[in-house]
Structure formats: C-alpha cells, structure tokens
Amino acid sequence: MSYRKTIKSYKNSISNVKKLYQYLIQFDSKIDGFVSSESNSSFDNLHHHLVINSKVDYDVLKNEINKFWGKIGLIDFKEYDTKGNYCYYMCKHLNKGDYNNLEILSKLEY
C-alpha cells in the first residue's frame, strides 16, 4: 500500500494502517494480520505490505480496503498463495532503518 503524497514519518504512516485495521474490524471482529513498512529505493517515501487473515470474502475485503485506502494512496492486491514466498517479501528490508518493522495489525500502538 503506497501513498499519493510523500510520507516519511513512520508514526504518521502506521497511524493510517491502524485506522484501516479499525475500519476493517467492523466486517470481521477477528480480522488480523501482519504489516511491514519500508521505504522506496531512494529512501524518501514509505509504503506497507500486508498479509490479512479474515473470514470476509476476498472480493468484499478487497472492495472495503479499496474504499478506505483509495482516499490515501494505491494498493496492489494479491490473494494469498501458500506456494508463494511471502515471508521473504514481507521481511526483506527488516532492520534496515527505524521504520522497517514487521508488526501484528491488532497490536499496533499508533
């Protein structure tokens, strides 16, 4: 999930993800997942990767995320494939900066 405007503040960016999570729990009170935050290659803009576990139908969830995040930025959706290498994709930039974190959605502090 990226932003239309440049966003460099981890606190501001993760606050948007927390708001998205709070929006989504109205559709599934047990929804949860992982979020990783990282910068682009020139280190001047943050974006996020999410893996979400939910009982909500994929197309409904995709539509609701688009409704919310579409006001903020852009999203590239991929349905989870157990043969994919999601761990690597989510973790490839961990600990390369103060903002490169892997967190549980329901445990976000901001």
Provide the pLDDT for residue 45.
83
Hey, how many other C-beta atoms are within 10 angstroms of the C-beta on 42? 6
Contact 10, 36 (CB under 8 A): no
Say what percent of the chain tops pLDDT 90: 52
* Cross-strand pairs, 39: 46
Give the pair of three-digit tokens for residue 94: 């961990």
Q: Edge to edge, what strands does the sheet with 102-104 contain?
A: 46-53, 32-39, 102-104
Residue 110 has pLDDT above 60, yes or no: no
**What is the pLDDT confidence band of residue 41, given thresholds at 50, 70 and 90?**
low
Q: What is the pTM for the complete model shown? A: 0.85
Contact 27, 56 (CB under 8 A): yes
110: CB partners within 8 A, 6+ apart:
11, 14, 15, 18
- Digit-coded pLDDT (tens) for 76-109: 998 887 777 777 777 776 666 666 678 899 998 7
Give the pair of three-digit tokens for residue 33: 């997942």
